[in-house]
Amino acid sequence: MNALRQIGLALVWTGALLAAEEPPPVALPPFLVEEASKGPPWRYATAPGYEILSRCGDSVTRRVVATHQRLHQLLAEVLPPALQFQCTLPRTLILYDEELQPAASREVIARLLRQDAVAPADDFPAPPGGRGFRPVMPTRRMSFLPNLRLWDRDAMTVFMIVRRDDFDADRLTLTTDYISFLVKNRVPSLPPWFVAGFLTLYGQMHNEGERLVLDELEWISPAHTAAVKRDPKTAPPVQPLADFLALRMPAPGEPPAFEPMKAWQAQAALLARWGIEADGGAHRAAFWKFAERAAVHGSNADLFAECFGFDLAAAHAKLTAYLAVAVRRTAVFRIPRDAPKPAPLALRNATDTEIARLKGDWERLEVPYVKRLEPRLAEKYLEQARRTFRRAYDRGDRDPRLLAAMGLCEADAGDDAAASELLEAAAMLGALRPRANHELARLRLAAARAQPGRPGALIDTEQVAEILKPLFAARAAEPPLPEVYELIADVWAVSATKATRGHLAVLDEGVRLFPRRAALVLRAAEVNLRHGYPAEAAVLAELAEKFSGDEDGRVRLAALRDALAKEPRE
């Protein structure tokens, strides 16, 4: 998402003239006022891993979804789903006909902005010798984004405004930003060499209808690439793989022949390309297996040999030979002929609940995005989300997914009382999405700490069980959420019941998934020490020390080490 650019008002007096600097335009998500628009009904469908809500014609909807599925099938040829961000909750695809985007929506935004356009006279002094002049605050020019992807910590939604008469399926593509999200948010985190290498490689790919084309490799720079083509011996060599996988930068030589970071990134792209494309894709399964297991066990030589069947020295020789080929060759990837065809998209009119749930949840996600760009409008987007949710709720709909989305909306807005009521109602009616389970547990813990069941502000066994129930439900879903494990640690930190190592094993799991999350590692260490496991706490403290960069973390780590020093030695 684009960061908010802070705009300062520059006033320049020239005699009695006032000039105001015009702020740059800001691109907002769509503001769809349904009451003011007329047109065809919302249509609904499901596809594997997706829910589709469309206000386009059925034929256009089917073409967009088919193209979306084809692009992901092509992506799977170079990046399997196991190496992508995964979520249990179906992703949402919302399609809107460009000709239906109501003018009233633009008018609403314009009216809201005009209300703030003229600043009060008292806010600015009169110009020297002048009377009756009021500086006019420039209204920021607005545009509306035609395509936008927003996400919560457990879900993703893509919104597209589609031209019904000018839709070209071949122009659709999966952006580098989207691919970067899939790779960087995968849990456990993929090794840095894979992330850098694959994203560099994807930047060199483009779609050509039914195929994905990979351009010739660039080795560090155009000049070094030309050197490889002339004579590989005159170009910077491939770094030994043991050093490369350990993230040691190659030495540039004297005088510096190249930037070490660029050389390392070029080798990451070379390794990714070799793993996916070399020898007719013979190494592809081993390469993906190595990346997946390295995310858990680290990129070590034994694991490499186990996955590929040969050692790092042999792999270095293969990479060196492949470099001379890769700088000259274009690679093409196609969906296998025997790949299963997606089932026809069965569209029907969306129910009030489906419209409220999917559209309202999208509008909920718009709020923090707008708040960063144009804070004056964030409350209006929040009101719009609430109105969308309430249309179904006020008619008596109590779908647990609708209630959960409404609960998250209120939690995001800071209304914990309303969020608690909605999330508790949703939990009674069905399973909750991961983040809704986390918020429910957070609210239950706050209530338990306000009325603890044991002396000393400690919570009793029954309270612990009620709080942990939604947390363990969230833990069983994708993606794993680090805040779930942190909240589990918070529960045991105030529990009157002594935790066994079996109870705390879930924290070990969280640390394995998020070893760089200092707050989680430190909390797990503190909880282990509190419940009588100093050896485990000491190991976690060593890990926390590597990543505790903020002042609070350093203070807590110092206190933890002091407490560990007082523990009797075995």
Q: Provide the number of structural domains found in the chain.
A: 3
What SS3 class is residue 311?
Answer: coil
Q: Decide the pairing of beta strands 147-152 and 155-162.
A: antiparallel
- Who's near 11: CB < 8 A, 6+ residues apart? 18, 19, 20, 124, 135
> pLDDT tens across 338-366, in order?
988 899 999 999 999 999 999 999 999 99
Phi, psi (degrees; rounded to nearest 5) at 296:
-100, -45
What is the per-residue burial (b if ≥16 Cβ within 10 Å, else e) of 353-389? bbbbbbbbbbbbbbbbbbbebbeebbebbbebbbebb
Residue 564 covered by a domain: no
- Residues 373, 410, single domain; the answer is yes
**Domain for residue 89, yes or no?**
yes
Amino acid at 327: V
**What share of the chain in percent tops pLDDT 90?**
72
What residues have CB less than 8 Å from 165, skipping those under 6 apart? none
Residue 10 has pLDDT above 80, yes or no: no
CA proximity to 487, closest of 455, 512, 519:
519
Examine the domain organization and report whether 171 and 52 are in the same domain.
yes
SS3 106: helix
pLDDT tens, position by position, 273-295: 999 999 999 999 999 999 999 99
Q: Residue 514 falls within a domain, yes or no?
A: no
* One domain, residues 158 and 24: yes
C-alpha dihedral sign at 449, 450, 452, 455 = positive
Q: Which of 378, 404, 432 is the last residue of a domain?
A: 432
Q: Give the pLDDT of residue 98.
A: 84
Are 60 and 185 within one domain? yes
pLDDT (0 to 100) of residue 170: 72
- Tell me if 101 sits within 8 A of 34, measured CB to CB: no
- pLDDT of 230 > 90? The answer is yes
Query: What distance in Å separates the CA atoms of residue 555 and residue 518, rounded to the nearest whole number?
Result: 13
Q: How far apart are CA 23 and CA 128, in angstroms?
A: 26
Is the pTM higher than 0.85? The answer reads: yes
- Report yes or no on 161 lying in a domain: yes
Round to whole Å and give the CA distance between 149 and 91. 11
Q: Are residues 153 and 295 in the same domain?
A: no
- Please indicate, yes or no, if residue 48 is contained in any of the structural domains: yes
**pLDDT confidence bin for 107, thresholds 50/70/90:** low
Q: Which two tokens stand for residue 163?
A: 């031209």
* 380 in the same domain as 321: no
Exposed e or buried b for every residue in 483-512, given b needs 16+ CB within 10 A?
A: bbbbbbbbbbebbbbebeeebbebbbebbe
Whether the per-residue pLDDT at 302 is higher than 50: the answer is yes
The yes-or-no verdict on residue 133 having pLDDT over 70 is no
**DSSP string computed for 403-450:** HHHHHHHHHHHT-HHHHHHHHHHHHHHS---HHHHHHHHHHHHHHHHH
Mean pLDDT of the chain: 87
* pLDDT at 104 > cutoff 60: no
Q: In degrees rounded to 5, what are phi and psi of residue 211?
A: -140, 155
Q: Is 550 a domain residue?
A: no
Assess if residue 454 is contained within a domain: no
Q: What is the pLDDT of residues 451-476, one digit of tens each?
A: 988 888 899 999 999 999 999 999 99
| Whether residues 109 and 160 fall in one domain | yes
| Same domain flag for 232 and 358 | no
On whether both 231 and 371 belong to a single domain, the answer is no
Q: Are residues 29 and 64 in the same domain?
A: yes
Which domain does 390 fall in, by range?
354-432
Neighbours of 27 (CB within 10 A): 14
How far is Cα 291 from Cα 286, in angstroms, rounded to an integer?
A: 9
Predicted confidence at residue 253, as pLDDT, reads 72
User: Tokens 């502000």 appear where?
Assistant: 457
When pLDDT is averaged across residues 94-100 and rounded to a whole number, the result is 87
Are 152 and 34 members of one domain?
yes
The β-bridge relationship of strands 43-47 and 348-349 is antiparallel
Q: What phi, psi does 421 have (nearest 5°)?
A: -60, -45
